[in-house]
Chain A
Amino acid sequence: MAELTRADVEHLSRLARIDLSDVELDRMVGELGVILESVATVQQAPTDGVEAMSHPLPLANVARPDEVRASLTPQEALSGAPEVDEQRFSVPRILDQD
């Protein structure tokens, strides 16, 4: 597996809009690296003849009826917003969406 670089972490932090200081960046390169190495270890497990799965239980067709349930109040919904304006989540501008 390719080594995680400082540039990779910077790129990810920008995409996720998480502001990281230089110190934090350095630390994350190491910590994320450890996580990726652990995944790499799992990847070494012998899986020949084992079918890929996305869910541990042999379940299908779990659905709910189309019945309205109570939503949150706008106050509850917006309580975790970084900023609120006109009863909407206010976020830094984005480039190209509508």
Chain B
Amino acid sequence: MSTSTTDALMGYDEVIERFDPVMGLEVHVELGTATKMFCGCATTFGAEPNTQVCPVCLGLPGALPVVNAVGVESAIRIGLALNCQIAEWCRFARKNYFYPDMPKNFQTSQYDEPIAFNGFLDVELSDGSTYRVEIERAHMEEDTGKSLHVGGATGRIHGATHSLVDYNRAGIPLIEIVTKPMVGAGERAPEIARAYVATLRDLLKGLGVSDVKMEQGSMRCDVNLSLMAKGAEAFGTRSETKNVNSLRSVERAVRYEMCRHGALLAAGEKVVQETRHWHEDTGMTTAGREKSDAEDYRYFPEPDLVPVAPSREWVEELRAALPEPPAQRRKRLQTAYGFSDLEMRDVLNAGLLDLIEETVAAGGSPAAARKWWSGEIARRASAQGQDVPTYAAGLGLSPAAVVELEGMVTSGRLNDAMARQAWEGVLDGEGTPTQVADARGLQLNQDTGALEAAVDEVIAANPDVADKIRDGKVQAVGALIGQVMKAMKGQGDAAAARALILERLGQPS
């Protein structure tokens, strides 16, 4: 039983001074398949309770499971992306336990024959260094049903008299990815944990195998942590903190458990091997079930499913078709686009890389793509609580619009200020950039006679500035351009004005 008492915590610096953390992370990823792992029920998130269930996922007598081909393929692709070996032959196993969230009284999983094993994932840390996380295994299994606890004062499990179970989620394909114990991470353990989960999330997203929404539970992380005294060789007793569901929480949970274990060990107490629950609101963990006698799951090979034996040819085909790893792609595109580190960081934080890549592919320049997909549209998207890609998709905006807008600037039809107006019109739903420019009468004044007259007038009115430019102080031209543009009522072509002023004053343009 858990209690709500506050744990004693050791200061983080002292923990680092006296102990070495040993950390293992287990990440569960729900695959984005249309159907469940062993039956044809749909996997739509948020459906009415018990509307996506059948005799197989309800565990009714006589029902026979058949594995989802895409589930197996996704598992292999994930294994390959994590640099794992792929089993030549492996089986499913029954993990037997008595909880109502699995109506079969067992979860179909894999035991000692995972489909993928012995891999690694390189993780970039904030100081630019790389940490290699060794992957123990990635195996196929199925999700459990969802329980709602009623009858208690809080709706939480304690004090509840009944659990109401919805089996829509039972049987949705899961891949469990388990790291080897990470030793020697020291004070960077919390950062490494977070960076690993973030990197893994990007990788899985790039593979297109899952929507990896931590807040919806399609990616969940369990944190195994123990401490050992400096210089010790044997691992300490670990705790297993379940369902840590945001990147920030992963980092905080590791840190919290390090401080909790530190205080226990320093006081000469024992760490209990148990499941801990992470509480997002308080940033603490509380005790769950002790693992000692619940650990016997009586695994045995699932007799209702035949072995999975992926041919080497198929595995190599899947390997060859893997997308470029996200970190590699980011580096390649940053170099190709000539973005500074700061610009690249902003692009990534705003989730714009795909849009920019599509815009460049459609004929736009990287600079224009970055410029137009940031700025005004980002401000509007954020006001709606959306990211730019989602917002743009909602407006039906495609990269072609940015390419069109940029073309109107390079062709000399619009200056920058006009292009901004045209873009605002596009975002207001007034049509394509050309339609908006036509409707709003946005058009640079191409009357060279008018421009020449304005330039001569401005030079005559500013003899001092003109002299400076004649003497070679070309940077002073800006002041004159501004006045020419004013005289042209904002519709002048600034580049043409600049060239003309310099020509009049005998400077090369």
Interface residues of A (CB under 8 A from B): 15-17, 54-55, 57, 59-74, 77-78, 80, 83, 85-98
Contact = CB atoms under 8 A, between A and B. Distances in A.
Q: Chain B at the A interface: mostly helix, strand, loop or mixed?
A: loop
A86 B99 CA distance: 20
Contact of A97 (B35, B42, B99): B99
Given A65-B69, A66-B33, A88-B166, A96 B275 contact: yes
Contacts of B101: 97
19 contacts: A16-B98, A17-B98, A54-B303, A55-B303, A61-B307, A62-B305, A66-B34, A68-B35, A70-B40, A71-B52, A88-B50, A89-B50, A89-B164, A89-B165, A91-B165, A92-B163, A95-B289, A96-B288, A97-B163
A72 B161 CA distance: 28
Nearest to A69: B40
A78 B164 CA distance: 12
Contacts of B35: 66-69
A89 B167 contact: yes
B164 A88 contact: yes
Nearest to A61: B309
B359 interface: no
Sort A-B residue pairs by CB-CB distance and give the 9 closest, nearest first. A69-B40, A54-B301, A88-B164, A63-B69, A66-B70, A60-B309, A96-B289, A89-B165, A91-B100
Interface in B63-113: 66-72, 89, 91, 98-101, 103, 105
A60 B34 CA distance: 23
Contacts of A60: 89, 306-309
B460 interface: no
A14 B398 CA distance: 61
Contacts of A83: 162
Nearest to B304: A55
* Residue from B71, B100, B149 having most chain A Cβ neighbours under 10 A: B100
Q: Chain A at the B interface: mostly helix, strand, loop or mixed?
A: loop
Contacts of B288: 96
A87 B50 contact: yes
Contacts of A16: 98, 105
Interface stretch (B53-61, B259-267, B375-383): B53-61
B335 interface: no
Contact of A61 (B49, B99, B105, B306): B306
Nearest to A65: B69
A68 B40 contact: yes
B55 A72 contact: yes
B150 interface: yes
B156 to A, nearest CB: 8
A64 B50 contact: no
Contacts of B98: 15-17
A67 B34 contact: yes
B147 A62 contact: no
